[in-house]
A and B are shown apart, each in its own frame.
Chain A
Amino acid sequence: MSYLNALRLHFAGRFQANVSTVNNDPAHFDNAAFKSSYQNLQGPKMSPPNGWFNPQGDAAWRFLGCKVTAAWMPTGAVTSGDPVLGYIVADTDGRVPAKLVDAFADIWDRATGSVEGDVGAGAMYQSVLTNLQWCDVSASPFLSALRQAARTGLLSIKFNVDGLIMDNTSPDFMTGRIVGSIGPATASEPRHMVVGRQFMATTAGPDVQANFFKPLGAINFCSAVVDETASCIYLDLGNALSTAAPGGAINPQGDLTLSICDPTALPGDPAGTKVAIGVIPTSGAGGYVQNPNWYADTAGIVSLPLSPVQLQAVASSPLLISGDAGVWISESSSSSFVRADRFVYRMSPDETVEIPVYAMRFGKPLAGVGVNFQLDSSQLQTQVGQVSSDSPYVAPSPPVAVPEDALAFNPTAVTDSNGLAVLTLHTRDPGTPRFFNNGTDYGIDGQVYGVRPAFSDAQTYNGPVNQWNFISILLWSGFTPANPVTWTDLQPIFQQYANLYPVMNRFLDLGNYDAVVKNARLLLLAFGLHPEDPNSMPVTRDLSPAKRNAILAWLKNPLPGEVPARANTADIPEPAVGNLTGLAMPKGGKAAAAARRLILRKQ
């Protein structure tokens, strides 16, 4: 079970993701070279070098004006008599709003108009809601059923975001459109992916300029689930259909037909044999183009009925969605897929973690198959060599994914009866490969790595690869401060937060010993909170347990140590404005970062 279920609600509204942007440039982590101008809001053409488009961001995540737009039960659409249709989806009123910490999935160039970067991007998040608290829901048959189904203590939630507004003079600054779905979840199923049918997009190719990803067939990666009991298929197109304007209406791409492919035909080949089993029309009440509320009301999820014959056929054949000429997406020819459920890990040296990956075929767990694990740094963001004159970055950033031998893991595993294979990953201290000035100046803690799962038998289980489908690991550096720990060891850590997060200036100067000591009580509280607490410091959660423990010990006994004079403004000259005049307006943090991926750099 998941949100892709006969029992689900949809909601729509806006989100705010008020992330800060000083840390968009890895070179800003260099305390020794940091300049106060790096905290300023960007001016025209990013000049002088500055803090990008939202240096004062506080990382708050908010649901704004999100309303329940529809709800479904196995008996059909919930009607207006059910009060759930008048409810809102809101931030808690019991504590501060959430903080945005981790990455999203399947980010792509969703808006097809003439927009650049983050503004035109779409992405999705899938997770589970925990710590459920229910009030009296007896007046709502839908919520009563959902509560009954949520006895696991979990609900599945998935939402799609697009149309981020990056204009700091807009009331919608750092907000965008959100549409989502909530349904039941079982404890044994993966939390961040659907065990179901996986439609795999193919890249539009190296000649097509893309900020994130442009699918060849115009439809982005998406999932579906076949419900044998209800004889239907739930298709989630929420992050798969493009728009012209960011956050705007869905582009018309013809009636979208779901077909069963002859397994011997090439996927996506219009000439291949295909049998249509359902249509998502452009027009009519349910028309994804004609009905302006279609996206908000459905979150892009469509249920198509299946006859007994069709049910039997889908169980052993790949599926294809196609529309106007050139519009299509299909499963791989083997209808197979493998992915890690959780794909972001933060680890200390000498730790071991077991990472489950799920293999499936025809939407069912695939047992007894081999899965390979390989280091793959192609999607990590780096930039070596010189900074070109049209770059928004102030200096080359440190290398990623080295040393390789800091990670040790099994190169293969075999899936069990639940389709589950385990990557067992052991870490050792990577040293400080991302320190600056040849490793002598404090820099970015630890190292980042990517590990990609793939079927061992690439012949049988072939098909397109989702570039974002890899496990991301942040491995922290070892850290052994003096005993007792003094400000000498911790000043660089605090200084870096003071540099990168100007929001802290509203509270104290984190780089100043006296200010930190004066606020030791509050800091002890904030650094001592569980990382899942929205008030936990640091908001980026990029502090190693070793450093956190040193900070906590020190805050209880803040010994001064011997720190040289603050070195947060370096002597390096500001680049001449003329060097940057050719630079176009920046794309935004995500797009600029994506442009630094190794794989693009190599092209």
Chain B
Amino acid sequence: MFLVHRSLLQGITGPSITPQGVCATLQSAIKLEHATIPPYLYALYSLDAGKNRQIADILQSVVVEEMLHMTLASNVLNALGGAPEIDTPNFIPTYPGPLPGGIEGDLTVNLAPFSMTQLKTFLRIEEPEDPLVYRSLAANPVESHVTIGQFYTAISDAIATLGDGAFVNPPRNQVGPDLMRESVVVVNVATAQQAINTIIEQGEGTTTSPLEGGGIVDAPAHYYRFMEIQKGYQLVADTTAPGGYAYNGAPIPFDPTGVYPVTTNPALCPYPPGSVQASANNNFNYTYTSLLSALHALFNGDASQNRMNIAIGLMMSLKGQAKAMMAGIPDPTVFTGPSFEYQPVNPGISG
């Protein structure tokens, strides 16, 4: 499982919990949620969806929820008077590298085309403290580490300690369900905990079921969705199985020939300036940086349909660009993986 360093909990545990401390932790949470998106997208768009449709659908469904988690964490942060910082270079993690807040040497995350090895990384990121149904880790987490679920639970507890008085009223800078399905307008302890529980349950499931708690889609939590890929079968209710579920539903086949031959960690060995790959990557990164800027505006006071439309447009543009460059379009012999780097100025073809 992915373990968060306990130091991230400073300021939200112990006797002196402050709104500022909770806000700092929520900023870390937003960074962490975002940090999973580039590797998931890289794997997703490396797939020839004609050959690996079901795996692509699972990855897509998880990414969409990670974006919701970013939004929910931002809503809680804003409700406590904070301001999410998104359009800065250090908001983006380095790949390969640890996830923000992670234990050094514990988990190195790569930008890599989809593979069963990369899937293991995804499973580790999403693994609950005590996975249901099929396996549980032999070792309990050591004292200095907490899982992502425990991390959010600690935030939730700290918010309860702060009480409703810590929340800004009327609602402040909230991206509500009118703009993003399943989002929660946060105005008090109850709604903040509802937002945080959505994050925990979509990521890890409830403590008693692999299904998401309150989601519109009665889908397994991320960990179990990724396990479906590993097992090669859908997770379905099965009264004969221990725990009531089993990976014996419809097959989820993996066709290794349906993965485009893109590099791993493109930032490690930058594409040569002036190359086809550098040109496509520059355009992608410029759009990606523009998206971070649009999201920053969305989460810092311009929670309007127009701003949301702009952000969705940028996401669609990123998707279109990534799918083309990774699939060998326009040159069918050149495959380019996007490096997801901060690029506030497009250097053009020579860059």
Chain A interfacial positions (CB closer than 8 Å to B): 13-14, 41, 54, 56, 58, 62, 64-66, 88, 90-97, 168-175, 503, 506-507, 522, 525, 529, 533-535
Contacts and interface: CB of A to CB of B under 8 A. Distances in A.
Contact of A172 (B329, B346, B349): B349
Given A56-B330, A534-B313, A94 B294 contact: yes
Contacts of B331: 168-169, 173
Contacts of B334: 169
Interface residues of B, number: 37
B201 to A, nearest CB: 23
B289 A175 contact: no
A477 to B, nearest CB: 29
A94 B348 CA distance: 17
B283 interface: yes
A92 to B, nearest CB: 8
A65 B286 contact: no
Given A62-B283, A171-B278, 12 more contacts: A62-B346, A64-B346, A64-B348, A65-B348, A93-B293, A95-B310, A96-B314, A173-B330, A173-B331, A175-B349, A507-B319, A525-B312
* A interface secondary structure, majority: loop
A503 B327 CA distance: 12
A506 B60 CA distance: 13
B257 interface: no
Contact of A54 (B274, B289, B330, B349): B330
Given A65-B351, A93-B344, A168-B331, A506 B324 contact: yes
B244 interface: no
A171 B349 contact: yes
B276 A170 contact: yes
A62 to B, nearest CB: 7
A129 B329 CA distance: 33
Given A94-B294, A506-B320, A506-B324, A169 B276 contact: yes
7 tightest A-B CB contacts, nearest first: A65-B348, A64-B348, A535-B313, A168-B330, A506-B323, A96-B317, A171-B276
Given A41-B332, A525-B312, A13 B348 contact: yes
B140 interface: no
Nearest to B350: A65
Contact of A56 (B293, B329, B347, B349): B329
B333 interface: yes
A503 B283 CA distance: 17
Contacts of B283: 62
Interface string B2-44: 0000000000000000000000000000000000000000000
A86 to B, nearest CB: 12
B6 to A, nearest CB: 38
Interface string B336-350: 000000001111111
Which residue, B289, B312, B320, B330, has most C-beta atoms of chain A within 10 A? B330
B316 interface: yes
A88 B275 CA distance: 22
